[in-house]
């Protein structure tokens, strides 16, 4: 079985401060890891993915994520958060097939 844990329901940061959204995963074999973002009244949008190679992955809107195999983590980061980054963020994992397992999501609020 594969699963994702997002330990924080909510993350609050001030605009301009660094933003980190945590994700740990459990999967047999090599993980394929993804981050998606959901804005109000919208579906999920793809941000970035890790398949293999460099542990630091860069994605859309200035986001990046670091794959850490020993800690089975894939935390999402942004050096300087914007108010427009306020949204619901989902981490997901697969074993390389179509079955993506998502976490419960983390609500990010960036205050001006």
Partner 1 sequence: ETGVTQTPRHLVMGMTNKKSLKCEQHLGHNAMYWYKQSAKKPLELMFVYNFKEQTENNSVPSRFSPECPNSSHLFLHLHTLQPEDSALYLCASSQEGGATGANVLTFGAGSRLTVL
Nearest CA-CA partner of 47 in 67, 62, 32, 30: 62
Residue 43 touching partner 1 (CB under 8 A): yes
22, 49, 75, 77: which one contacts partner 1 (CB under 8 A)?
A: 49
Instruction: State CA 39 to chain mean position distance.
Output: 14
The reply to whether 41 sits near partner 1 by the rule CB under 8 A is: yes
Q: How far is CA 29 from CA 16, 38, 40, 56, 60, in A?
A: 38, 28, 35, 20, 27
Q: Minimal distance in Å, beta carbon 72 to partner 1?
A: 17
Asked if residue 66 binds partner 1 (CB under 8 A), the reply is no
Q: Considering only 15-23, 56-64, 68-76, 90-98, which stretch makes contact with partner 1 by CB under 8 A?
A: 90-98
Rule CB under 8 A: choose which of 14, 56, 83, 104 binds partner 1: 104
Sign of CA dihedral 65, 69, 71, 73: positive
**51 forms part of the interface with partner 1 (CB under 8 A):** yes
């Amino acid at each position: 079985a594969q699963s994702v844990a997002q330990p924080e329901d909510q993350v609050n940061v001030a605009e301009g401060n660094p933003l980190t959204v945590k994700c740990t995963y459990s999967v047999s074999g090599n993980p394929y890891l993804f981050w998606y973002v959901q804005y109000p009244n919208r579906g999920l949008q793809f941000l970035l993915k890790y398949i293999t190679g460099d542990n630091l992955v860069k994605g859309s809107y200035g986001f990046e994520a670091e794959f850490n195999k020993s800690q089975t983590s894939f935390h999402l980061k942004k050096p300087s958060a914007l108010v427009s980054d306020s949204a619901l963020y989902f981490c997901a994992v697969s074993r390389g097939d179509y079955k993506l397992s998502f976490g419960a999501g983390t609500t990010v609020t960036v205050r001006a």
